[in-house]
Every structure is written in C-alpha cells, then in structure tokens.
Chain A
Amino acid sequence: MNALARSSWLAVGAAVCAGLAGSAPADEAGGGALVLRVGTLHVGDGKTVASALIVVEGGKFALVGAGDVPPRAIVRDFAAAHAAPGFIDGFTRLAVQGGAAEDVEVLTPQVRAADAFDPRSPQIRGLAAEGTTLIGFGPAASNLACGRAGAARLTATGATLVDASGPPTFSFTGAALRSDRVPATFAGARRLLECAFAGERWRGPGETDVPVDDTALAALRDLPAGPVIAWADSLACARTAVETLRAKKLEPTLVGIRDCAAEPDALAALGAPCVVTSLRPEDPLAVLSLAARLHAKGVAIAISTSAPDRSPRSLRLALSLAVAAGLPGEVALSAVTSTPAKMLGLGARVGRVATGLDADLVVTDGAPWEARSRILLVVSGGEIAFDRAAETSR
C-alpha cells in the first residue's frame, strides 16, 4: 500500500467505526466500498497472502491483495487476523421442507429442492454468524434419482437462492434401495438407470414396468454431461454409483462415504471427489482421518455437516477434527470453500477470495480451521452478516 492510501485509510478509520450497522450493505452504510486489511488472507485454494487488502464493492470482491483504498470506503483493520472465504456447507438438507420428493417413485429427477426451500427456516437462522455463508441443500436421499440440489446464500436476516437448479442428485443408499419397491438391489438400480438414461423403460421382476413418470424419463435421458451428487454409504454402493453415472458421462461427487473408512484406498481408486460428512469428536480415528487419507491419495475432499442429521453449527468443529486427524489446514479450508463450490458447479462464483467473485468472507482471530479461533466479521454477498465489534458494544 502506498503512503497516500495509508493516510486516507487512517483518516476514515475512526469515522466509520461509529457508523457500522450489523447487517446493512457495506456500500450503503458508508456510501462506498468496504475495505478490509488483514494479517493473513487464505484465498481458499491453498494459497495465502500476507498483509492483504480486500476491497468489497457491489457484493463482489473488487480488489484482493494490494492496491489503493477507494474514496469514501469503510475501512476495517484486522492486521493480526485471518481472512478466508465464507464457509460452504455444501451437502445438507437444511431448510428443505418435507424432503422435497415423495418416495413412491424411484426416479424423481425433475424435483428441485429449491422449490421446497424455506429461506425463513429456523434451521438456518443465525448460521451466517458461524461463518457459513453458503449452503448446498438437496432432496432427501430416499430415491434413486432424488432431484436437483440447490444453493443459498445465508445473511444476517435470512437466505437468498444462489442456484435453484443445482447438480442432479442420486442415492444408492439403503434409504433408496428398499425391499418394498423395485429396484432393491445395486444390480437393479444400475439396470433401471441405464434404461432411463437411454430413454427406455425397465421391466422389473414380474414383467411389470417399474413406474417411472414420463417427465422423469425425459429428464434423465436428456441429462447433459457434468457434475452430479451421489449418496453412497458403502464401497459397493460407491462403485455402482460411479460406474453407472460415468457411463452417462456424469461426474459424480460421492457423499456420505464415512462408512467406507475401512477402505480408503479402494474408495480413492474410484477417482471420484468425496464429501466427508457428520464428523463428530467421538468418531473413531479411522473416520476422522478419512479426509486426510483420501487427500493423500489425490482425491478432492469436501467437508459437510449433512445437517440436519448433524447440527449445522458443527462445521467448524468438523474442520478442526479433520486437521487433528492429519488433513493439512489449508486443504481443510478448501474442503469447506473452493472444493464444495466446484462440486456444486459454483466454482466461478464463490469459494475463493478473488477479484470478481461474490464477496463471502470470514475474518477470524486465528487460523480459520482452528476450533479455538473466534469469528470477528462475516461478510455475505457483500453485506456484513456478523460483526463482533458491533455485538460486544451492543
């Protein structure tokens, strides 16, 4: 930063502190940009920048790294603190009322979880103050083709949809393959999906058509190549998911794989990115170290709470547990920022602190993956969603 910029920062520093509103858009409160000076910037993709300047304007990162402070900017000095992208809890069912889809039919790809999303749900109230600025949410994993996931940005007051039609979700778990309907087996699931992907109906046992909606059939037939989410709770499950979906040129991200903890090598061999969910302090080390072991094998890793099965506030504890079990800190941070952003197809918009991306940011008094770090400031979509300075003076 040059001398001129520094002096302008000092001049406005005192004046703006009094005018900070808890949730007001930064560019309205001060009439200009929000400028943060932080000791360490964790970009979210593994890189760090020391003594970084971050300029937030119009809901985006206008400048990251070094440069001049724009006129009339609100400047906040966090010289000893860390800044990181807002956390993304990418694989939840938060605020999705009633699970989104009936589980009468096995294939419901046309269902959009966003249509059942309640931005005022108590499940997500106050979550932004925890540093979680974006959640991915999906339909319940009770159908083979569950429907489309969605994504929402969390603010101080509620939530706004970021993606209403996110990646298609599939489930190969026991919740979807049940004994009271067809298919009940991996082989049946594979056959049914293969038929549907080809636009055909599959005759199950007893020579009766497995009931599939025409819309559902068309939706599956016309699925374009790209990322999808697949719930899998065993290695066999994961293998079936990966093989079946890849045959349609879909790129599955495996979620719910904590039960594969005994076979990380076999899981890694599938070559699919993985989401480790619901980490708890009482989990066995094999589960807690799964992320670290998969990362060591070159697998892209995301960490999610899978709330509401687990409290959505457990994300930060999950991060520190993964680090304690061997995952490098910066990788753990990526696992709740840039990696889930990519898995949700939002990698160009969120998940990193970089010029042009949505301004989702968490400032902490220590490394962002440390459970003991305190959150000082949360910026969500350019708005201040949490401000410790404002909280304590209240």
Chain B
Amino acid sequence: MLFGDGPIVVTLATTDVAGGVWGAQRFAEVRGVFLDARERRENLARWRRDLQRFEDKRAAEEPIAIERLLLAPDLLEDLLLWSPERRAAWREAALKSAGREKDWTKPKDVAKPPARPGQDPAADLILSAMDSPGGRRVLFRTQTAADVASALALAKDFGLVASISGGEGLADHAAELVRLKLPVVVTDTADTAMRTEGPIADRAPGLFARLVAAGLRPALGTGGAGGSARFLRLVAARQIGEGLSPEDALRSVTEWAAESAGVADRVGAISAGRRADIVVWDGDPFAAATKPRLVMVGGVVVEAPR
C-alpha cells in the first residue's frame, strides 16, 4: 500500500552498486548527479525566464494580430469589392488606429521560442524529488561510516530532506543523526548483511540497541531488495537477543518505521484516528513459531488463518 510520493532513493552503499564502485568514487559520482541537477535547475530557470520574455514580447505585438483577426472576416468579403484605392486607404487607417506603422498584410518575422534544455534522466529524477511538494526528500542507502558521512554532506550541500538507511556505518554518526533529527532505517544488521569482509567484532553487536540508546528512533528493515519481508519480526527479535528491549523492538517495526517513512500520522500505532492496521498473534510475535491469527488493514480483515 502506497502513501503517495516517497523519497528519491540514492545508493551510496558499495555492495549494492552494480560494478562495485567504491566509496569516494561513488560519492563523487552521486555528487556529480546532484551538481548536474543543480545546474539543470539553473538552466531550466534561465529557459523559463527566456520563455517568459519571449511570451511578453509576443504579447506586446498582439494588438496587431488581434486587430488583424477581428477585421479579417469583414475584409475577406469587402476587400474583394473595394477598389485598390479604397483598400489602401483602409489599410492606412487601420494601421493608424493600431498605433503601428507595420505592414500587417505581410507575415511578421516571428522570433523562435528559446530551446528547452535537453533531457537528463538522472538529474531530472533528482530534480523532480527536489521540487516535489514533500520537499527535497532523499533516502540515502549506506553501508559504511564513510557512506553515511557522504549522505550527510550531500544533504547539507544541496539542502535535502534526507533519511538514511544502512547498518554499522550509522553508529559512528549517531550523535549527528540525532542532532539533525534524520529518520534512520537499519537494513543492514550484522546478521542480515550479505557479506562480512571486516572483523566480526567490528560489525558492532547490538548496533540497533546502541542507536536507540543514542536517542534515535530507527526503523528496522529486512534489507531485502525485492524479497519477502515475511519474517521481519524475527529480525526484530534478533535485536532483542542483542540487547534491545522487546518494547523498542516492537516500535522499530511499527511506530518508528512509520515515522521514518513520514506516515506516522496515519499508521504505526493503535490510537484513535489512525488507520486500523492490527495483527493478532497466537503468542509472542518475536517467538519463531508464533503465527498470525488475524490481520486487519484499514479496518478490513485481510487474513484470518485458522
């Protein structure tokens, strides 16, 4: 179920990038796209100004055109009957009345409208996000601390409303993320990561619990690109095993998830006025063998397994 325009997603995480473009290069690349977008915005603005000028100029010439149009039906009939002398006299009078000395019978040299700047899909996409009513919303997908630093730099430079998804890299910038009140989605917990290149000890056990302790209200994701989120509850359960309280584990996949998606006014908690999304479990939702008894979305029972 979609809630409308989401943020533009920009991937900074190296493992997610086809071809394995690494840190600094990736940052330069993304920054390049943003710079292109900014330049494109300026070009488009210039084009709009030029277009306006062109329209204004044409509008200034309009009286003649309007006059010509107004007179035309009568003239078509009458001119055929008029003598050449009479026709010339009328023309003189008409031109005088329009305050113009131009010969309206000849086609005018109409200036061409200014050319619209060419297409640039990547920059256009970024621009559409930057100009969306939601306002410059960009979700940065990160992996390392350097990726998060890149995301923060891009957000600052381009005045973006950023949210950041990632894993261990978030921990190093927790204080900054709290200060900027940036929505955070943890998709890359130590055990959902695809690979472990670095030391396991450095993969920050209890990352999620530490982010919460630092004051963030992070959402928890499965990190699966196009996969199933069926067992998101077990990813949350794993955070309990690593030190998160069960209450915060629940918030991480309900209330906080809604907050980071910008839809907390509608979903994410059972409270008056919010959409009636409820799951009834046959046990602790964080225990592996627990099953849903009833799933209600927007007040409609969508699933009621026996």
Given contacts A123-B196, A313-B203, contact A372 B240 (CB under 8 A): yes
Judge whether A281 and B230 touch: CB under 8 Å.
yes
Given contacts A370-B287, A371-B288, contact A281 B232 (CB under 8 A): yes
The contact size tier of chain A is 35 or more
Binds B, one of A59-67, A221-229, A320-328: A320-328
Interface check A76, CB cutoff 8 A: no
Interface check B198, CB cutoff 8 A: yes
- For A206, the chain B residues whose CB sits under 8 A away are none
- For B246, the chain A residues whose CB sits under 8 A away are 372
Cα separation A315 to B195 with both chains bound (whole Å): 13
Judge whether B203 and A329 touch: CB under 8 Å.
no
Judge whether A316 and B199 touch: CB under 8 Å.
no
Judge whether B190 and A316 touch: CB under 8 Å.
no
Judge whether B193 and A321 touch: CB under 8 Å.
no
* Chain B residue with Cβ nearest A320: B288
The secondary-structure label for the interface of chain B is loop
CB neighbors of A among B218-272 (8 A): 222-225, 227-232, 234-235, 237-238, 240-243, 246, 249
- For B228, the chain A residues whose CB sits under 8 A away are 281-285
Judge whether B200 and A122 touch: CB under 8 Å.
yes
- For B115, the chain A residues whose CB sits under 8 A away are none
Cα separation A284 to B231 with both chains bound (whole Å): 10
- For B238, the chain A residues whose CB sits under 8 A away are 316-317, 320, 371-372
- For B225, the chain A residues whose CB sits under 8 A away are 282
Judge whether B288 and A281 touch: CB under 8 Å.
no
Interface check B201, CB cutoff 8 A: yes
Judge whether A313 and B196 touch: CB under 8 Å.
yes
Cα separation A140 to B235 with both chains bound (whole Å): 29
Interface residues on chain B, number (Cβ under 8 Å): 40
Judge whether A317 and B234 touch: CB under 8 Å.
yes
Judge whether A282 and B224 touch: CB under 8 Å.
yes
Distance of B22 from chain A, by nearest CB (Å): 18
* Chain A residue with Cβ nearest B242: A374
Cα separation A319 to B249 with both chains bound (whole Å): 19
- For B128, the chain A residues whose CB sits under 8 A away are none
Judge whether A316 and B231 touch: CB under 8 Å.
no
Interface check A91, CB cutoff 8 A: no
Judge whether B241 and A374 touch: CB under 8 Å.
yes
Interface check A349, CB cutoff 8 A: no
* Chain A residue with Cβ nearest B286: A372
- For A315, the chain B residues whose CB sits under 8 A away are 191
Interface check B194, CB cutoff 8 A: yes
Q: Which of B198, B202, B224, B237 contacts A371 (CB 8 A)?
A: B237
Cα separation A284 to B243 with both chains bound (whole Å): 28
Interface check A136, CB cutoff 8 A: no
- For A317, the chain B residues whose CB sits under 8 A away are 191-192, 234-235, 238
- For A282, the chain B residues whose CB sits under 8 A away are 222-225, 227-229
Judge whether A313 and B191 touch: CB under 8 Å.
yes
* 12 A-B pairs with C-beta separation under 8 A: A122-B198, A123-B196, A281-B227, A281-B228, A281-B229, A283-B227, A308-B195, A311-B200, A321-B231, A323-B289, A372-B238, A372-B284
Residues of B within 8 A of A (CB): 190-203, 205, 222-225, 227-232, 234-235, 237-238, 240-243, 246, 249, 284, 286-289
Other than the known A313-B196, A321-B231, A370-B288, what 17 A-B pairs have Cβ atoms closer than 8 Å?
Answer: A123-B196, A124-B200, A130-B200, A281-B192, A281-B232, A308-B195, A309-B195, A311-B190, A311-B193, A311-B200, A313-B203, A314-B191, A370-B287, A371-B240, A371-B241, A372-B237, A374-B241
